[in-house]
Structure 1
Amino acid sequence: MLDELVELSAAPSRRRAVHAEYATPRRAVAHWVLLVAVLGVLTLALGLQTISSSVGEPGTVEPEAAVPVPAPSGGGAVIVRDGDHLAGVALPERTVALTFDDGPDPVWTAKVLEVLAREHVPATFFVVGSRAVEDPALIRKIVAGGHEVGDHTWSHADLATVPSWRANLELSLGQLGLAGSAGVSTSLLRPPYSSSPRALDAAQLRAVERATDAGYLVVLTDRDSEDWRRPGVEQIVANGGPTGTDGEVVLLHDGGGDRAETVAALPGLIEKYRAAGYRFTTVSDGLGLAGGANRPAETLPSLQGRVLGVAVHASSWLVVVMAWSMLIFGALTMIRTVMVVALARRHVRVSARRVAGPESLPPVSVLVPAYNESVGIERSVRSLVASNYPDLEVIVIDDGSTDGTGDVVESLGLAGVRLVRQANAGKAAALRAGTAAASHDVLVMLDGDTVFEPDTIRLLVQALRDPAVGAVSGNTKVGNRAGLLGRWQHLEYVSGFNLDRRLQDLLGCITTVPGAAGAFRRQAVEEAGGLSSETLAEDTDLTMAILRAGYTVVHEERARAWTEAPGSVNDLWRQRYRWSYGTMQSMWKHRRAVLDSTTSGRRLGWIGIPYLVFFQVLMPLVAPAIDLFALYGLLTGNAGPVLAVWLGFAVLQMAVTAYGLHLDGETLRPMWSQPLQQVFYRQLIYLVVIQSIASAVAGVRLPWHKLHRSGEVVVRA
């Protein structure tokens, strides 16, 4: 499909209408569906990562002091529903169930299982679902070892403090985690941050009631080893050991942190219970539950659990990739910003040296391609005639206009101005016709809506004194800045396009001499193959071809040209859509520049094109995800860091803009609109690029977009 990007042929047989190149494009919606789907997947991934993130470190967060309420009747540690009230069921005398929370952990759970196997002791493991799907083999090993598993929620959430919908989700996902990892379901639940029935407060009791209503046996504790405090091996044994002959449910941990003390204390604890004549059992076996608490999961929950496991792994990978992408692009943006600012002043000195010394005033042919430019063509042509350049011919190429553009030019009757009429064939064809009609070897090209200052041409051609220079880029200025959209584009031209060209000039890799203002050596244009209709960005295509022909391209910021920027969002979208699409066509067409032997060709292939790929293709693709991650940070308790980063970049961007305005001799007054530019305008441009990329990959043939003109170009001193 990519080869089709450069096949926008100018052959008449392919043009089905007189103004086909200016027609409205076929609109495609598939890529917008794809974009929404991708952002939806990212949102789901972030949501899954959020709910999979443990609340604090499991097993290390001590519950806040609360006012206890009367414990369920019966006094046992296992809470069940008995009619309309709760009852506590105890294990039989001299029966002990060792229970482990917060796993599985690949290190500590494995070590606990080794001790239990050596001592021939069964146990009950209350498993965090999100950890279970990360290590399903370990869950299967627990079950295969004769142990049983219980639900410890999906993310170790405090069921007493989360909303009811979140509590239900925690329990359901916890079950799916077990079903997907080991193919089992469980009727046992231990709420995180719980201890004995006597320590329940009102909120915890309500959470226990909801769990028993859902059919769970809620397993609390008789003996808390407090191993999560890491008090030392002897203290863990003392805390968890027997004090009489009552049945005991003992709380230990195999996850949530360093459990070396737990593993070391386990043999001593087992020995202490054996010495007291206790029998080791699982919770369900101690209660005499027929068939136990674990049963094979049904087919659908097992499948759902496996899908959930895949989604957790994929979302984790995706979040990591996006985090690294943000880091990489953030670093590249910072490097680019530093280089642009650091080298801009140097470019001022380099550019000044180019125009120093005796002037070179060769004869110049000015080419003005025009299609339906009747609104602004008179002002444009008069600005050229008013130039202080001594030997100048102006050639206006009317590309099949239907609004009387050619008639306007003829009616002016200006000396040195020639009109060439042709059937509509596109801007590149118009420039080819103008080049053929030109009398001189220095060509200056500008759009039909552009106004030159009196010394613009004189300044443009000075750099061509160096025979190695094939083209010179002028400084394009926005002439219609009255509205907010105009101000945003003005700031973009100053701090983006023109500062970028200064940097690219010093690096020898200017990729675009803008159609609004450029001077060319005819020989360089001919050696580059002339103006091509194979792309929609004929200016970028020609510039790259001139570089590959062995010439250098430079930027002259004093040669100012005032152009009319799009005055509506729709026109801006259409303009940037064409620019972005044409730039990608040009990059693909000149992709073999990496193999060019000329210095300028290598700079294009090794610096210029990668620069465009990173900052005009990949960056817009990543930008919506970056914004989504930033919004995610704001909504998940990371507002401080997110706002700090955003404000840091905003301040940096404003400083760069102010510097660019200073270099261009512009007032700082429009900068008040820049914060709004970051919120709205940047997103719009990114979406345009995304649409262009999708169209390019899909092989959509994009026609030329003719923009509306108002003629409201103000030349500012």
Structure 2
Amino acid sequence: MTSRQNSRRRGRRGVVRQRAPRTHWLLLAAMVITLAAALLMQGYTRHLFDTAPDGAPRAAAAADAVPPEAAHGGPVIDASAATPRTARPAPQTLALTFDDGPDPVWTPKILDVLKQQGVHATFFVVGTQVADHPELARRILAEGHQLGIHTFTHTDLGQAAPWRRSLELRETQLAVAGATGTTTALLRPPYSSTNDALTDADWQAVRQAGQAGYLTVLTTLDSEDWQRPGVERIVANATPKGPAGQVLLMHDAGGDRSQTVAALAELLPKLKAAGYRFATVSEAVSIPGAARPASGAEHWQGRALILALTVGDHAVGALDWLLVAAGAISVLRAVALTAAAGRHRRLRRRGWGPPVTDPVTVIVPAFNERAGIEAAVRSLVASDHPVEVIVVDDGSTDGTADLVDSLRLPGVRVLRQANAGKPAALNNGLRHASCELVVMVDGDTVFEPDAVRLLVQPFADRRVGAVSGNAKVINRGGLLGRWQHIEYVVGFNLDRRFFDLAQCMPTVPGAVGAFRRSALLRLGGVAEETLAEDTDLTMALCRAGWRVVYEERAVAWTEAPASLSALWRQRYRWCYGTLQAMWKHRRAVGQRGQAGKLGRRGLLYLLLFQVLLPLLAPAVDVFAVYGLVFLDPVRIAGVWLAFLAVQSACACYAFRLDGERLGPLWSLPLQQLVYRQLMYLVVIHSVWTALAGNRLRWQRMQRYGALHAPADRAGAA
């Protein structure tokens, strides 16, 4: 390999960059697309289903294009040729037909009556109903009856586009093939009635069906049972007025059909006694071959369709439950965090005990921090608490150490070491620290003058082993800066107040944290096993029995990523390192004391809100889009606005607690729509990296020099 190729493969720190795995993005895309397809099918079949009764009045329409042969012929129409052909039932023959089924309640009762009377009928079935109740379709055929199709979603074919007509017929046929292993050539369009009621639009649908090989079956006699007028009226409507053969319309689904069942039990013996013969449609008009065995491809495609619809129903049910559960949990979390923040504020007013005046060693690990190191060190020297500052230069190549030396600031030492990573730099600083109380500061952080003093006051309590300070974003310009500012104030700090009260603080941030040096040395210093050394160290202290608390008044300013790529790298490292630390300290779940509090409170909280819920986010978002398209968009939008209102209320309270202006909160809705999705993708990426066993290297954030020394920082902040 040439040196030029080598240089392309080497990162800023001279190590080969490990390319992130791509398979999981393909897998995620495939899962989201599959879920979207299942929801699209479920939405089409369940929420575009036309529930209006077949006999409902229809608006008058032109019928000029309907051929006379169809308008005045028999009720069974073959429209495959240019000139349609029709057929009528033989005299004294009644083709009994049922629409809209099969229904799990009424179809079996109607079948029982037909079986008792020895009568066979034709059932025009809806595709989605067949998919839901395939066993009823099989029973219909097993008892000698005939199947016809009544479209997939009971749509008006005359008003549907040609592509949808084809889809409706094809999918219904597949549902029948999958459920019964047979196909049928009989079709009854929903909302059809007698021949002379055909309109031009209806005729176009009949012609298209005929060219697809279907025989359209209309009616000559309507029982009007869909109106539920009473048993006597149904019987009267269904009784022929002469010897001519009839195609009688009744319904076995679409609502309460108890009157139909009762009328049928009365009608059949009456018509038999009057000399009528009952037959299926094909028998009544002497059309053989209306049903045939489905091909293997049709049968398996039909079974796949039924399975897809079943899976879609289960997916919607599960997502509906998850959405409700996630929403309820999120609201409860917001309420709990807000209540905890208020209680935390009241408790902190009581103070920690006698003032802590012991000097403090501040350790600043630095690798190529020339852009911000001067502001950071000057802010520490300007502290109103006695400090010694140790800058540990971790093999910088940009002159960081030389710059600090050139400042000649009192109480500031520079330790130089070969590049070994941040944990090694911190441990080097610990070995050279002269104070029991140690503050660890990132090289991109500027302290307020009172930050160190406030940060160490909790050590008046001998049970406290570490203290988290309040990190704030200094570069708040632009949407990305505002979103991170909101995240720091609302997300991180509300969480820390909650963790403090629950005594399960999982992280003291590297930007601003204080520790007992003796406690760290007993742990063996800062471990190097994870990329989130601050989280790993904090969890180790909790497991060792130390309390970790939050002092929100100890404010430090940090430079947040200024680009999406830099933000992605930073959060990817944080999330991956947190997962590593959670796995490393997983046994805390079963321990007692402070360790148990960390395990059963802190780790489970992180698992639920920082791992599991983000992993479910893509499915929830797809379901939200599904709801906007197929459900009540006003209700879906209302739920989202209600959730946003809760988030906004929490954000306002958090900003008030931190003494921040509320102006940046105008971007909160955009943060929920855009920034939140990015953070979810970071979690998914991190989890996949961890599960795949890939080792992520440290990724340093590019500095832009947004930090300023205390004297001139006010204007920038």
Root-mean-square deviation over aligned CA pairs: 1.9
**Relative CO higher for 1 or 2, CA cutoff 8 Å, sep ≥ 6?**
1
Q: Taking structure 1 as reference, are residues 265 and 526 closer, same or farther at Cα in structure 2, changes over 3 Å only?
A: farther
Q: Find the aligned partners of 2:705 and 2:241 in 1 and give their Cα distance.
A: 95
State the shift of 1:195 in Å. 2.0
Among 305, 310, 316, the alignment partner of 2:307 is: 310
State the shift of 1:63 in Å. 4.5
Q: Find the aligned partners of 1:58 and 1:122 in 2 and give their Cα distance.
A: 27
Number of the residue aligned with 2:348? 351
State the shift of 1:25 in Å. 3.3
Number of the residue aligned with 2:19? 26
State the shift of 1:286 in Å. 0.9
1:141-540 to 2 correspondence within 5 Å?
A: 141-291=139-289, 293-355=290-352, 358-390=354-386, 392-540=387-535
What secondary structure sits across from 1:660 in the alignment?
helix
Deviations along 1:503-553, whole A, 9 cap, x unmatched? 121122221111100111223323444311111111111111111111211
Deviations along 1:118-138, whole A, 9 cap, x unmatched? 111001111111221222222
Range that drifts further, 703-712 or 650-659? 650-659
Q: Taking structure 1 as reference, are residues 30 and 191 closer, same or farther at Cα in structure 2, changes over 3 Å only?
A: same
Range that drifts further, 464-473 or 653-662? 653-662
Q: Taking structure 1 as reference, are residues 564 and 120 closer, same or farther at Cα in structure 2, changes over 3 Å only?
A: same
Q: Find the aligned partners of 2:542 and 2:197 in 1 and give their Cα distance.
A: 78
1:654 aligns with 2:652: no
Q: Find the aligned partners of 1:124 and 1:592 in 2 and give their Cα distance.
A: 66
Number of the residue aligned with 1:3? none
The alignment covers a number of residue pairs equal to 698
Q: Find the aligned partners of 1:596 and 1:347 in 2 and give their Cα distance.
A: 26
1:595 aligns with 2:613: no
Range that drifts further, 452-461 or 693-702? 693-702
Q: Find the aligned partners of 2:55 and 2:579 in 1 and give their Cα distance.
A: 54
Deviations along 1:163-205, whole A, 9 cap, x unmatched? 2111111100000001111000110011122222222333222
Q: 8 Å contact 1:470–1:524 — kept in the other structure?
A: yes
Q: 8 Å contact 1:223–1:249 — kept in the other structure?
A: yes
Q: Find the aligned partners of 1:655 and 1:138 in 2 and give their Cα distance.
A: 53
Q: Taking structure 1 as reference, are residues 82 and 676 closer, same or farther at Cα in structure 2, changes over 3 Å only?
A: closer
Q: 8 Å contact 1:369–1:447 — kept in the other structure?
A: yes
1:664 aligns with 2:662: no
What secondary structure sits across from 2:449 in the alignment?
coil
State the shift of 1:499 in Å. 1.1
What secondary structure sits across from 2:216 in the alignment?
strand
Q: Which amino acid aligns with 2:364?
A: V
Q: Find the aligned partners of 2:576 and 2:186 in 1 and give their Cα distance.
A: 59
Q: 8 Å contact 1:242–1:276 — kept in the other structure?
A: no
Deviations along 1:445-470, whole A, 9 cap, x unmatched? 11001000010010011111111111
Range that drifts further, 30-39 or 75-84? 75-84
State the shift of 1:231 in Å. 1.8
Range that drifts further, 37-46 or 336-345? 336-345
State the shift of 1:629 in Å. 1.6
Q: Find the aligned partners of 2:520 and 2:228 in 1 and give their Cα distance.
A: 78
State the shift of 1:675 in Å. 2.4
Q: Find the aligned partners of 1:447 and 1:196 in 2 and give their Cα distance.
A: 83
What secondary structure sits across from 1:103 in the alignment?
coil
Q: Taking structure 1 as reference, are residues 446 and 63 closer, same or farther at Cα in structure 2, changes over 3 Å only?
A: farther
State the shift of 1:363 in Å. 2.3
Q: 8 Å contact 1:23–1:704 — kept in the other structure?
A: no
1:42 aligns with 2:35: yes
State the shift of 1:258 in Å. 2.1
Q: Find the aligned partners of 1:576 and 1:18 in 2 and give their Cα distance.
A: 19
Q: Taking structure 1 as reference, are residues 551 and 62 closer, same or farther at Cα in structure 2, changes over 3 Å only?
A: farther
Q: Find the aligned partners of 2:61 and 2:272 in 1 and give their Cα distance.
A: 36
Among 527, 531, 554, the alignment partner of 2:549 is: 554
Q: 8 Å contact 2:375–2:707 — kept in the other structure?
A: no
Q: 8 Å contact 2:55–2:224 — kept in the other structure?
A: no
Q: TM-score, normalised by structure 2?
A: 0.94
Among 607, 632, 639, the alignment partner of 2:626 is: 632
Q: 8 Å contact 1:157–1:192 — kept in the other structure?
A: yes
Deviations along 1:376-415, whole A, 9 cap, x unmatched? 111101110110002x211111111111111111111122
Deviations along 1:83-114, whole A, 9 cap, x unmatched? 32334422111111111111112221111111
Q: Find the aligned partners of 1:690 and 1:563 in 2 and give their Cα distance.
A: 26
1:64 aligns with 2:71: no
Deviations along 1:16-59, whole A, 9 cap, x unmatched? 98976976431221111011101101111111102221524364
Q: Taking structure 1 as reference, are residues 593 and 500 closer, same or farther at Cα in structure 2, changes over 3 Å only?
A: same
1:572 aligns with 2:570: no
Q: Find the aligned partners of 1:40 and 1:107 in 2 and give their Cα distance.
A: 36
Q: 8 Å contact 2:80–2:213 — kept in the other structure?
A: no
Could you list the runs of 5+ residues in structure 1 that have no partner in the other structure?
1-15
Q: 8 Å contact 2:121–2:280 — kept in the other structure?
A: yes
Give identity over the alignment, percent. Answer: 54
Q: Find the aligned partners of 1:488 and 1:66 in 2 and give their Cα distance.
A: 58
1:52 aligns with 2:45: yes
What secondary structure sits across from 1:160 in the alignment?
helix
Q: Taking structure 1 as reference, are residues 691 and 227 closer, same or farther at Cα in structure 2, changes over 3 Å only?
A: same
Deviations along 1:301-353, whole A, 9 cap, x unmatched? 11111111111111111121111111111111000111112221211111222
Q: Taking structure 1 as reference, are residues 163 and 515 closer, same or farther at Cα in structure 2, changes over 3 Å only?
A: same
Q: Which amino acid aligns with 1:438?
A: A
